Structure 1
Amino acid sequence: MEPTTGKPSLLRNILARALLFGLLVIVFRFAYVVTITGESCNLGDFCFFPLPQNLNFVIPGAWAGVSAVVGNDALPRSNPRRDLYTSKEWIKAVHFYSSVFQDLISEGYLSPHSKSLCVETPLGQEVFALKEIGVEDSIGIFKKAAKPLVIKGEGHQIPFNDNTFDFIFSGGARLDISARPSDFASEISRTLKPEGFAVVHIKANDTYSFNSFLDLFNSCKLVKMLEIDGFDSSMPYIREIVLKKEIEILDHGDRKIPDGASNNKCSVPGHKRELVQKAEPLIEEEPLKPWITLKKNIKNVKYLPSMVDISFKNRYVYVDVGARSYGSSIGSWFRKQYPKQNRTFHVYAIEADKAFHEQYEAKKKAVTLLPYAAWVRNETLSFEINHDPGQEEMNELTDKGRGMGRIQPVKSSQGELNAEVDEIQGFDFAEWLKNTVIDRDFVVMKMDVEGTEFDLIPRLFETGAICLIDEIFLECHYNRWQRCCPGQRSTKYEKNYAQCLELFTSLRESGILVHQWW
């Protein structure tokens, strides 16, 4: 007998070890899927063999009696997001939204026959969840398509006709972060059928922002609101808002204050009145050195955007009445210090003094200049630029020594002041405001008009335009103690500090958030 070479035995050993190694790899990958993702090997990306195209993709953990399958073509292999679709986070989101939609079905806001749209859904978890519970006629939109669950489209420009859907959903607090919340809400209202339901998840945690949100949907009424737990740490809890589209458009949220004295009265809503209680206290006692006290007080101001979320406003407007130069308050204070919550404000500068007009030409895109005097009527006025060195402002002159301008010049005891007087055009500021902004806008106003505030503020109340303003920074002019001459008061203004305090108090008692300005 010839001796054996041992080669067949060696080959068998190599093949056996290769098969054992392959088996270990398969076991390892299976263990990974089960322990890391909590799923079975039906998730094709974790298996060696692709799933047949006609095999259904199963979400484990579906509730009893609920169909939890969608064709495997819902997860095409060419889709670069396939790994996300099979991730633990994606499946957790599907479970969360399935629970949400089941509750909505039980309450009658959604049905298996509802034609449904999910707005701004990057990965389509909401759409998948709708299909999981049997709402098959569902689609999502996002700026980047993820077919077949999500097609290309954005919340502020939904690519469907009017009155298309029975049910529209916006989750993930998408409306909170929208740069165009008004267009977002308008598009939802437009594409929703009359008597259809819109459900929105938002993070509004104060009554001001909640009411601002409701004002965006002028064709819908609130039918339900509740707080629910979110599904991740970024949203530990959210508000679920259910809205129903009315057959007739409701008259709220987008109207301007109507003309006519008989219906110009307005009432500041309770959610705005609450904010006045949180404002810094007024300075009750007249300061001996007002130029110091009032400037220090601005550090104590509790700005409205520091107290509430202003995300749900139509647009954002700053009106500087008596603006003087751009750097006087717009550039030096509002642009740098006012908390704008990353919102872009349209700025209106109202300044009658022609010496400042030229510099605004270079800032046309940032500021709209109104080269007139804010007044109570449309009429021609006399406008005085004071140069009298005896006045208290002699050491406060800014903008290269230019004096302060005001309507209706007065005379001192020594005769006519050393002043430059021009004829200018005055305009009805209250009526202009009513024609420029609406009550869904966020409006901030600074007013420094050299005593004319005692004419303009009553006019704002008379016309109802006061309700269009969210926050006011008001300088009240009175016969102050003069810096130049201790023990002497300025004769420039007739009002006293008590009258100014009364003006501020009346504004706050009316629910207007006003701050003392310098």
Structure 2
Amino acid sequence: MEISTGKPSFLRNIMVRVLLFGVLIIVVRFAYVVTITGESCNRGDFCFFSLPDNLNFVISGAGSGASPIDAIRSASPADDLYTTRDWIKSVHFYSSIFQDLIADGYLSPESKTLCVETAVGQEVHSLREIGVKNSVGISKKAFRPLVLRGEGHAIPFEDNAFDFVFSGGGRLGKSLKQLEFADEITRTLKPEGFAVVHVGATDTYSFNSFLDLFNSCRLVKMRDIDGFDSSMPHIREFVIQKYSDVDGHHHRKNSAGAESGGKCWIPGYKRDLIRDAEPLIKEEPLKPWITLKKNIKNIKYVPSMVDIRFKSRYVYVDVGARSYGSSIGSWFKKEYPKQNKTFDVFAIEADKAFHEEYKIKKKVNLLPYAAWVRNETLSFEINHDPGKEVEAKAKGRGMGRIQPVKRSTSSDDLAGEVNLIQGFDFADWLKNSVRERDFVVMKMDVEGTEFDLIPRLIKTGAICLIDELFLECHYNRWQRCCPGQRSQKYNKTYNQCLELFTSLRQRGVLVHQWW
């Protein structure tokens, strides 16, 4: 008779104990999820025995012209990430957001959906979990199976590929290429498809600037919601819909932001901005060289009043720039509040004496011409010798003044150095150089030519492209040297200057009286 050694029973007992220990761990984890974190076991984050099937996908074949969700294969998810508290919190947040959008009819389980610049795929995971299976994300770094490699300003999918596009986390507002980011969302969105974009809480100015980025879409809904972390405690959610026929859609404004007849379309938020600006000086100052210079301290700059972050480009144009240090270097670079934005700087200066200096200013675009109402040759008088300036003033002409070329000119009519220069149609240049979606700041000091340039800008509608204007208006002001005497250098009055400023503000341009 054989005697049993008891080894099988011993091994069996060990296996049973290990199994029971494993079950105990599962029960403890389940209890932790339900009682401590308040989660249910329908999530795969803690309850690994119910890991959702939609995590085991990876989309392949993404690239230029690729179909978004055609080819899938198995992959192993990063389980450790899915058990972090931040991951669970964000997934819960986005699940709630998407469920609301489904309830409102902007999203459906059948929607082909793209999440733009989703770092580790919380949005995609949330979509798949609530039943939107055809979902994919893009980010600078791929995070498979949820996220492919791609960026918001260069989405690696074909035109009209998605029914629904989502951009959360304020990523569009943080992008250095906001216009391209918005254009790519519009491009990949199907006609009549919906896009939802989350940005940090905005004021009315930036709200409208944001909508201008999506000029092929219409705003459907907007709401304010609480964020899920301290980086974005308050969120503004925009739901926009792509027009069914982008090419056939007629906008109320033309490319210069003007309605028919050259009149600017002035939305309420621009009127509010002008209303809150510093008041114009109504009474002619007896000492303009003091009063106007002091008034600079009262100026309320646009970026000090509103958020300009959603403009597609930032431009500063100095008309009558003279030397770099005259205003670009001494004022705009140092004093103007730019909200950390990089501005394209244009210096328009006809005086050749200043051209050489700009050759070493790599970040300034010099236009060595005279801003004028058409393209033509002009006579440009400039007085470099201080001894000649008195004579120049006496003849009603001064530094940097331009006028059309006369057929014959007597030497007695010339008080200073006169050169022939090329004038260009400034309004036409402006309309071809900037767009309504740009933020355009301009300083104009053109020795009386403003009474030619401003009417031309108004007539062409180019004035509507200027967000903020610092204008020095030249009139027969009281002279510092001779009390009771007016300068004969200019034939305009202070009231005519005041009318010019008033008309500009009435057209939606925040103009400041400059010195």
TM-score category by the smaller chain?
0.7 to 0.9
In the aligned structure 2, how far is the partner of 1:408 from the partner of 1:198?
53
- Indicate yes or no: 2:502 matched with 1:508: no
* Of 331, 342, 345, the match for 1:344: 342
Change (3 A) 1:32 1:366: farther
Q: Match for residue 353 of structure 2? A: 355
In structure 2, the residue matched to 1:407 is 402
The aligned counterpart of 1:117 is 114
Q: Which residue does the alignment assign to 2:11?
A: none
Report the equivalent of 1:374: 371
CA contact (8 A) 1:439 1:468 kept: yes
Task: State the shift of 1:40 in Å.
Answer: 9.1
Amino acid at match of 1:135: V
Q: Per-residue displacement from partner, 1:121-180 (whole Å, max 9, x unpaired)?
A: 112111111011100110111111111111111100001111111110011111111111
Q: Is the 8 A contact 2:56 2:145 kept in 1?
A: no
Q: State the alpha-carbon separation in 1 of the partners of residues 276 and 381 from structure 2.
A: 39
> How far apart are residue 70 of structure 1 and its match?
4.3
Does the 8 Å CA contact 1:85/1:123 hold for their aligned counterparts?
Answer: no
> What amino acid is aligned across from residue 121 of structure 1 in structure 2?
T
Match of 1:334 in 2: 332
Matches of 1:191 and 1:117 in 2, distance apart?
Answer: 9
- Following superposition, the deviation at residue 296 of structure 1 comes to 2.1
Q: Which residues of 2 match residues 239-388 of structure 1 at below 5 A?
A: 239-249=236-246, 250-252=249-251, 256-257=255-256, 263-363=261-361, 365-386=362-383, 387=385
Residue 464 of structure 1: aligned partner: 461
Distance 2:466 2:391 in 1: 30
Using the TM superposition, give the Cα deviation of residue 294 of structure 1 relative to its aligned residue in structure 2, in angstroms. 1.8
In the TM superposition, what are the counterparts of 1:441-456 in structure 2 within 5 Å?
A: 441-456=438-453
Matched, 1:234 2:231: yes
Q: What are the equivalent positions in structure 2 for 1:59-74 lying under 5 Å apart?
A: 70-71=54-55
Equivalent position of 1:178 in the other structure: 175
Structural mapping, 1:128-167, within 5 Å: 128-167=125-164
Query: 3-state DSSP class of the match of 1:382?
Result: strand
Q: Cα distance, 1:102 vs. partner?
A: 0.7
Deviation, 1:31, is 11
Contact 2:43 2:50 in 1 (8 A): no
Give the residue type in structure 2 aligned to 1:192: L
Question: What amino acid is the match of 1:440?
Answer: R
> What SS does the aligned partner of 1:334 have?
helix
| Structure 1 residues 245 and 292, CA gap change in structure 2 (3 angstroms) | same
Question: Equivalent residue for 2:429?
Answer: 432
Partner of 1:232: helix, strand, or coil? Answer: coil
**Percent of paired sites with the same residue:** 70
Q: Which amino acid counterpart does residue 94 of structure 2 have in structure 1?
A: Y
- Mapped partners of 1:298, 1:210: distance in 2: 29
Check whether the contact 2:213–2:312 (CA below 8 A) recurs between aligned residues: yes
Q: Distance in 2 between matches of 1:44 and 1:95?
A: 12
The Cα offsets for residues 255-294 of structure 1, whole Å up to 9 and x where unpaired, read as 63399x9754433333222210011111222223322222
In the alignment, residue 56 of structure 1 is paired with which amino acid? S
SS in 2 for 1:231: coil
Q: Are the structure 2 counterparts of residues 434 and 40 from structure 1 closer, same or farther at C-alpha, using a change threshold of 3 Å?
A: closer
Q: How does 1:147-226 map to 2 (within 5 A)?
A: 147-226=144-223
Residue 205 of structure 1 and its aligned partner are, at CA, apart by 2.1
Q: Partner residue of 2:100?
A: 103
1:56 aligns with: 50
Cα RMSD of the aligned pairs, angstroms, is 3.4
Q: Which runs of 5+ in 1 are unaligned?
A: 1-18, 59-68, 395-402
Q: What count of residue pairs does the alignment treat as equivalent?
A: 464
For residues 392 and 92 of structure 1, what CA distance do their matches in structure 2 show? 75
Gaps of 5+ in 2: 1-17, 59-73, 393-397, 406-411
Change in 2 beyond 3 A, CA 1:405/1:307 = same
Counterpart CA distance in 1 for 2:252 and 2:294 is: 37
Deviations 1:286-308 (A, max 9, x none): 22332222222222211111112
Distance 1:33 1:292, change over 3 A: farther
The two structures have a TM-score, normalised by structure 1, of 0.81
Structure 1 residues 467 and 95: CA distance shift in structure 2, 3 A:
same
Distance 2:414 2:201 in 1: 55
Find the counterpart in structure 2 of residue 65 from structure 1.
none
Change (3 A) 1:471 1:77: same
Q: Report Cα offsets for 1:195-250 as digits up to 9, x if no partner.
A: 11111112252222111111111221111122222222332322211111112113
Q: Distance in 1 between matches of 2:228 and 2:55?
A: 26
Match of 1:64 in 2: none
Range with greater deviation from structure 2 (508-517 or 84-93): 84-93
**Contact conserved, 1:218 with 1:253, CA < 8 A, in 2?**
no
- Specify the code of the residue in structure 1 equivalent to 2:208: N
- Once residues 174 and 287 of structure 1 are traced to their aligned partners in structure 2, the CA distance between those partners, rounded to angstroms, is 50
- Which amino acid is 2:321 matched to? A
TM-score (normalizing by structure 2): 0.82
